[in-house]
Every structure is written in C-alpha cells, then in structure tokens.
C-alpha cells in the first residue's frame, strides 16, 4: 500500500483531517484502555481463581486428614489393648472367647466410624483377627507388599492406597477400587521390634463425598494422589494414565497448565504433609476464563458504542467546522471573479465567525480603495485636461512679460524691468513644464524671485537672506513648498510688526534628512493658536481634498504643501511650526535626503 507523504496529507480536505484527528483522540485511547482492562481482568480473575481453588483444596485436605488422623488414632487405641498385645506377641492360640472379644472390640470401631470398611490384626507369625475381613488363601501374609510397607515405616501410620495382590477380602466384598488401605506396624514397647500390623480399610465413598462437593467451574474436578504417584481418587479416569508424579514435586502447592489430548488443562495442587497425599484440581483453561470473557464482552460492547459515538460526533463536528470554511472559500472565489458585493452572513462567535467578519471588513476596505482610486483617476484626468487646455497660456504669458521687460528697460525703468523679470522667472519655475519634482536650486530661485517682487512692494519694511548648503543644490524636492511659507511669514509676521523685519531661509542636512528653515522676527503666534496649527498639520492625509478642512485656520497654501509632502514621502516628513509671541516664528520643512 502506498504511504501518504506529508505533502499529500496536507492536500487532504480539512474535513478528513478533523475526522481523523477526532478518531485518533477518542477511539485509539478507548481501545487501549479497553485492552488494558481486558488484560487486567484476565490476570485478576486468574489470580482469584487460583487462590480460591487453593482454599478449596486446603479445605478438602483438612477433611481428608481428619479421616486419616482418625484411622491413625484407632490404630493407636488398638495397640494399647492388652488382649490384642497378647495376640500380637505370640498368643495365636487364644481361645475362641478371647478372639470373639477382640472382634467385638474391633466391631465397635466400625460401628462408631461407618467410613471404615474393616480392620485386620496380624502378628509376625501370620496369624490374624478381623471383624470384617477373611483370607482367601493361606499363603504367607507377611510377604505381601502392604505388610512390608507397614514394617518399613517402623510404627508410623501409612496410607498404602488401593488394595493390590492382597489375600484378604471384606464380607461386603468391596472391590479394590472402592477402598483405601492404611497400615501401621505395632512395636514391642521394650524391644522396639515389630510384633504385628494393624490394617484399616477406608471406604472410598468418604473421599468421593468430600471431593464431589467441591466444584471447579463447569467441567473441573478434584482427584487425590499418594506420594508414590498412585491415584487414590479420580471421578474421571481418562486422564489418570497421563498424569505424572514429577509435575507435583516443585513445592507444597502450585499451579501449572498442560496440553492433554489437544486440550489446554489447568492443574492446581496442594499437598498434605500429614497424610502424604496430594489433592489436585483439574479444569479446562476455557472454564477459567468464562467470567473474563463475559467482562470482555461488556468491554467490547462499550468500545463499540464509544467508536460509534466517536465516528458520528467526529463527522458532525467536522461538517460543522468545514461547512463555513467551504462557504468562505466559495465567497472568495466569487470575489476573485470580480463580485465585491458578496458578504459572509453568520453569527458564529468562534474563529470562523471572526474570519468571516474580517472577510466582510476586507471587502469594504477594498471597495473604499477602489472608489478612492477611481476618484483620484478622475481628478488626474481633469487636471491633465486642464493642463492641456491651458498649454498655450504660459507661452503667451512669458512672451508678454518679456515684452514688458524690454519696454521698461528701453524707457530706463529698471525697477519695473526687474520686477517683471522676477515675475516671469516665478511663473517659469512654478510651472516647470508640468513636473512635480524640481531641483532644490530651482526652488531657491523661485523663492528668490518671489522675495524680490515682495521687496519691491515693501521696500525697507522687508529684508531677507538665503543660506543653502551648496552640496544640497541638486536634491529633488516637491516644487513650490517655500513660497506659501514665506508668504505667511510676510503677511502674518513682518507686516504686522513695527519697523523693518527680516526673513532668513536656511537649507542644511540634519540627522540624515534635508531641513529647510523659514525664520522671521515678526509678531509670532499665540500658544493656543500654535497648538491648533500643529495639531492640524499632524493630520494623516489620504488625498488633497482633505486639506480643505483646515484652510480657514492655517491657509490653503500651507496645508497644500503639508499634504503634498505627506502624500509624496510619508512619515516622518512634513511641516512643523515653532513660535514665540512677540519674537518671531520658525517653520521647519523636513524632507528626505536623496542626493
């Protein structure tokens, strides 16, 4: 299967990404949590099952040990009987009366303990007395296996197991598989030699009743094995031949599993140190996990519900998030095609709603900008038309002024000729063939011509000086920026003061900028009016039309200069005014230093 690269994943629709993210966040942790619960439940149930079974085996062992202990006690009581001691120590020729009393004595035990099938006494010479048993033949009984086992245990009671190759039978004719035998050698108190053996047969149904009352699941059962590996009790003999004694030699109790006939079987065992018997619980591993399977079924059902809910919720959330995004995308495509009237409509308060409202504001701003560009385009076309219509007028004006100049000089009216020449120069530089940018030296020539004309009018009332750094002469500046400033200095400063006044124009470099200063020693500006003037000059200008708002307070010429500088260069360039009432005013024009 082809793996998705990061670019291909990024190309997927956002709806699929949201669905995948929600599924990963909700379903995968649920599956992991369910798996942990399943594993934990399996271990807990297995541990509880093992512990519970061991408790049951312990209870079964206690019940079994009580019967074995009772058989042992009976053997001790029998060994203390004087008549029985006489019989065992060589009194095989006891009278029939004494033998009858011994049988009655033994019969009392079987009457009180119905679990006992029979009791047999046999001395070292092979003579025996029993209440329930009789010999089938007269071979040497002392050579039989059960007798030798009892002698070898040297006075300790021993469970021998099912009778095998024994020459005795019970009157009830129990089969060998229906009884379990136990024997103990009786020792001479002084010589500690074996003088006989007491044999006690226990009915197997007693053990069966104990074991059958304990249930292990649906098919489990208990069995009992002695220390030599002989099965004492097993309700199901099918596995008896396959069970090995070595499996139970690792400790007094334990658990393990084995595969028998293709089935995985669980074994739990507990040994009885007193009776030398091992109680074994056997059950199928499938039975031990039935409860776990039921819990797993509930966990799987829960996971299915969570997955179904997670898938449904993820699809709903992805749709609710992707639908408005797709709607915005459709709106943008319509805007690309030129339809700016489209608007997002919605009252969502989330990021998508904020994006939609920002989209609407953007379209409004674009519409305003388009309208402004159209207005400026119309204004530019009108200005170009007016320039074209009046193209002939400047030439006619120049020629007329030149004629007046020569006529004045011919009549030796030199002052008139000088004024006319200055006026002609003023017009030529002002028009500048329609160029908005001129060299600084041309701007200085223009203001020099203007001051000469004003000087001719005000005579000694007006004095002026111009100081420009020569290296700044070739800088390009917006034309006609000094004349409105100088005009204000004359009419509002010099004209209003007593006596003659002086205007100085300075051009210099300051901190990487071009600074043009117009200083006068006129009457100055009051503080309140100065604050208003500087506030109006700090206005942001989007077009020249906005300058008309402040013309009444400053004058159209100054505001026009400020607007043209702001629109051409932007911040921080423009006009600033500093004035002290009664001492004069300084107007600074800050321009970029483009050499």
The radius of gyration of the chain's CA atoms, rounded to the nearest angstrom, is: 63
List C-alpha distances in Å: 215 to 209, 232, 517. Answer: 12, 19, 114
Tokens 């009157």 -> residue? 171
Query: Would you state the pLDDT for residue 161?
Result: 77
- List the helix and strand counts (H, then E) for the chain: 15, 19
Query: Would you state the pLDDT for residue 217?
Result: 63
List C-alpha distances in Å: 402 to 393, 418, 455. Answer: 14, 11, 21
What secondary structure letter does DSSP report for 121? Answer: E
Tokens of 212: 């059958």
Query: Would you state the pLDDT for residue 413?
Result: 63
Query: Would you state the pLDDT for residue 408?
Result: 63
d(CA 61, CA 279): 7
Query: Would you state the pLDDT for residue 412?
Result: 64
Query: Would you state the pLDDT for residue 383?
Result: 58
Tokens 């095998």 -> residue? 164
Q: Does residue 245 contact residue 228 with C-beta atoms inside 8 Å?
A: yes
List C-alpha distances in Å: 196 to 219, 298, 414, 487. Answer: 45, 66, 176, 155
Tokens of 571: 């911040």
Per residue in 82-135, pLDDT tens?
888 878 877 555 666 677 888 888 888 877 888 888 888 888 777 888 877 777
For the chain (length 595 residues), average pLDDT per consecutive 10?
52 67 69 72 67 71 77 83 80 66 81 82 81 70 79 82 76 77 83 84 77 69 74 68 69 73 73 74 65 69 75 73 76 79 75 78 85 79 54 52 63 64 64 71 86 82 90 87 88 86 92 92 89 83 50 66 85 90 91 78
Q: Which ranges of 160-289 would DSSP assign to H, the alpha helix?
A: 204-212, 285-288
41-47-51 Cα angle (round to 5): 145
Query: Would you state the pLDDT for residue 465?
Result: 93
């Amino acid at each position: 299967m082809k793996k998705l690269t990061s670019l291909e994943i990024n190309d997927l629709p956002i709806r699929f990404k949201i669905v995948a993210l929600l599924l990963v966040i909700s379903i995968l942790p649920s599956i992991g949590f369910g798996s942990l619960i399943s594993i934990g439940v399996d271990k807990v149930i297995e541990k509880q099952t093992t512990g519970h079974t061991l408790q049951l085996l312990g209870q079964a062992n206690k019940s079994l040990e009580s019967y074995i202990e009772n058989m042992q006690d009976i053997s001790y009581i029998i060994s203390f009987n004087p008549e029985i001691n006489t019989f065992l120590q060589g009194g095989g020729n006891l009278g029939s009366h004494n033998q009858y009393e011994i049988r009655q004595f033994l019969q009392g035990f079987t009457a009180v303990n119905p679990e006992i099938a029979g009791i047999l006494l046999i001395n070292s010479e092979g003579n025996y007395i029993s209440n329930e048993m009789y010999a089938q033949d007269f071979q040497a009984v002392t050579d039989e296996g059960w007798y030798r086992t009892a002698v070898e245990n040297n006075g300790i009671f021993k469970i021998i197991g099912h009778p095998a190759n024994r020459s005795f039978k019970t009157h009830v004719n129990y089969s060998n598989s229906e009884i379990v035998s136990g024997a103990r050698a009786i020792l001479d108190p002084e010589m500690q030699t074996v003088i006989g053996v007491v044999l006690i047969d226990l009915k197997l149904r007693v053990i069966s009743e104990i074991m059958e009352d304990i249930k292990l699941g649906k098919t489990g059962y208990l069995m009992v094995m002695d220390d030599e590996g002989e099965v004492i009790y097993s309700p199901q003999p099918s596995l008896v031949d396959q069970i090995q004694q070595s499996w139970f030699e690792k400790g007094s109790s334990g658990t393990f599993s084995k595969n028998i006939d293709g089935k995985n079987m669980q074994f739990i065992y507990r040994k009885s140190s007193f009776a030398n018997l091992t109680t074994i619980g056997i059950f199928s591993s499938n039975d031990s996990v039935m409860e776990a399977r039921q819990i797993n079924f509930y966990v799987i059902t829960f996971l299915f519900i969570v997955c179904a809910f997670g898938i449904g919720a993820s699809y709903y959330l992805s749709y609710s998030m992707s639908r408005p995004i797709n709607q915005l995308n459709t709106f943008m495509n319509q805007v690309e095609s030129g339809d700016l009237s489209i608007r997002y409509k919605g009252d969502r308060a989330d990021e998508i709603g904020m994006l939609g409202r920002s989209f609407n504001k953007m379209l409004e701003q674009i519409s305003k900008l388009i309208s402004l560009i159209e207005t400026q385009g119309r204004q530019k076309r009108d200005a170009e038309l007016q320039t074209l219509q009046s193209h002939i007028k400047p030439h006619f004006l120049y020629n007329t002024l030149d004629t007046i100049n020569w006529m004045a000089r011919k009549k030796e009216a030199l002052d008139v000729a000088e004024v006319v020449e200055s006026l002609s120069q003023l017009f030529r530089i002002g028009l500048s063939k329609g160029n908005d940018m001129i060299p600084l030296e041309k701007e200085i020539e223009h203001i020099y011509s203007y001051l000469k004309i004003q000087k001719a009018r005000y005579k000694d009332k007006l004095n002026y000086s111009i100081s420009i750094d020569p290296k700044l002469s070739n800088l390009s500046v917006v034309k006609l920026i000094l004349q409105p400033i100088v005009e204000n200095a004359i009419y509002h400063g010099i004209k209003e003061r007593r006596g003659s006044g002086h205007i100085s124009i300075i051009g210099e470099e300051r901190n990487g900028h071009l600074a043009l200063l117009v200083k006068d020693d006129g009457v100055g500006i009051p503080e309140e009016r100065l604050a208003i003037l500087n506030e109006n000059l700090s206005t942001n200008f989007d077009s020249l039309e906005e300058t008309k708002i402040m013309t009444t307070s400053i004058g159209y010429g100054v505001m026009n200069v400020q607007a043209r500088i702001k629109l051409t260069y932007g911040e921080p360039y423009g006009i600033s005014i500093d004035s002290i009432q009664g001492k004069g005013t300084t107007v600074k024009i800050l321009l970029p230093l483009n050499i």
